[in-house]
């Protein structure tokens, strides 16, 4: 019985928010803005790193959907991703 409970809890993770356009969240609850950074270093592909950071923050808010607002380069190798996080009960 204990093994079944352990396996059950490991599969109950929170789902990653879906990236959508603003029109897809009209009937959803706005949770807040989230911002993610690529960190520091020479990251030629900083956008996925910054987006991943923002998605983790949206996930912690309980977001089901995110709408990207801006990708802001910081120098040549780093940047910030800003999104609006929503909870959509569909």
| φ and ψ of 42, to 5 deg | -95, 85
* pLDDT tier at 10, thresholds 50, 70, 90: very low
pLDDT at 80 over 60: yes
Residue 14 pLDDT grade (very low, low, confident, very high; cuts 50, 70, 90):
low
What pTM was computed for the model? 0.79
More confident residue, 11 or 30: 30
For the chain, give the percent of residues with pLDDT over 70: 82
d(CA 1, CA 9): 13
Residue whose token pair is 């929170």: 14
> Whose CA is closest to 57, among 38, 35, 39?
35
Those residues whose C-beta lies under 8 Å from the C-beta of residue 19, and which sit 6 or more positions away, are 65, 66, 67, 68
Long-range contacts of 6-15 (CB under 8 A, 24+ apart): 14/59, 14/62, 15/59, 15/64
């Amino acid at each position: 019985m204990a093994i079944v409970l352990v396996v059950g809890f490991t599969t109950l993770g929170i789902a990653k928010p879906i990236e959508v356009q603003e029109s897809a969240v009209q009937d959803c609850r706005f949770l807040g803005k989230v911002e993610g950074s690529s960190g520091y270093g020479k990251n030629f592909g900083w956008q996925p790193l910054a987006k991943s950071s923002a998605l983790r923050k949206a996930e912690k808010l309980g977001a089901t959907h995110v709408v990207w607002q801006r990708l802001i380069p910081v120098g040549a190798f780093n940047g910030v991703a800003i999104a609006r996080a929503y909870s959509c009960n569909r």
